[in-house]
Amino acid sequence: MQRGKVMSLYATPLTTLDGEKTTLAQWQGDVLLVVNVASKCGLTPQYEQLEALQKQYHRQGFNVIGFPCNQFLEQEPGDEQAIKTFCSTTYGVSFPMSSKIDVNGAQRHPLYQQLIAAQPQATAPEGSGFLERMVSKGRAPQQTGDILWNFEKFLIDRQGNVVARFSPDMSPDDAQIVGQIEKALAA
């Protein structure tokens, strides 16, 4: 698995769903699972598994951080308040969420520029076929490293290394993801 350390990862400016300016610095030393999310996607039920991971591992220094994105068939059309309400009332989401961002293209958020540079390719479940289905529907990535769809996941270890990237169709509770989280927490 390719590894990459991004020195400025924690300094990258972010905005929360509540409009507050912040960075990842408040989670420096924690294991992070960064996920681009959407409320109207076939993969949206992954919120439930992401929240379960948050609850299970939070006390050990783990956080899921959601980044709403409307770039994939406009599946995150609401404003920040609508996103917050949907996530909290439908899935009981307690993990931190940013304001909407772009994860691909000319307006790609600087955090995603760094994540993709560190891990240009996602691990997919065995026999997935997700990428092939996206290509057959004319939704192929435009550039090497592009985020394929909603719910692509990046794992950052306690030292700020982007140690893994998982495809959208890899469930957050997949043994590979859980194993990598536990390994990062134990290090």
3-state DSSP of 38-97: CCCCCCCCHHHHHHHHHHHHHHHCEEEEEEECCCCCCCCCCCHHHHHHHHHHHHCCCCCE
6 pLDDT more than 90: no
CA atoms within 13 A on the CB side of 100: 17
Mean per-residue pLDDT of the chain: 93
Domain residue ranges in the chain: 4-186
Over residues 149-185, the pLDDT tens digits come to 999 999 999 999 999 999 999 999 999 999 999 999 9
Mean pLDDT, to the nearest integer, of 62-69? 98
Q: Which residues are catalytic?
A: 41
Residue 98: band (very low, low, confident or very high) from pLDDT cuts 50, 70, 90 = very high
What pLDDT, on a 0 to 100 scale, did the predictor assign at position 1?
38
Residues 77 and 70: beta-carbon distance below 8 Å? yes
CA 127 to chain centre: 22
| Identity of the amino acid at 177 | I
Please tell me the class of the 4-186 domain: alpha beta
Q: Which residues are paired to 88 by β-bridges?
A: none
Confidence of residue 4 (pLDDT cuts 50, 70, 90): very low
How far apart are the C-alpha atoms of 143 and 172, rounded to whole Å?
Answer: 25
- Quote the pLDDT of residue 162: 96
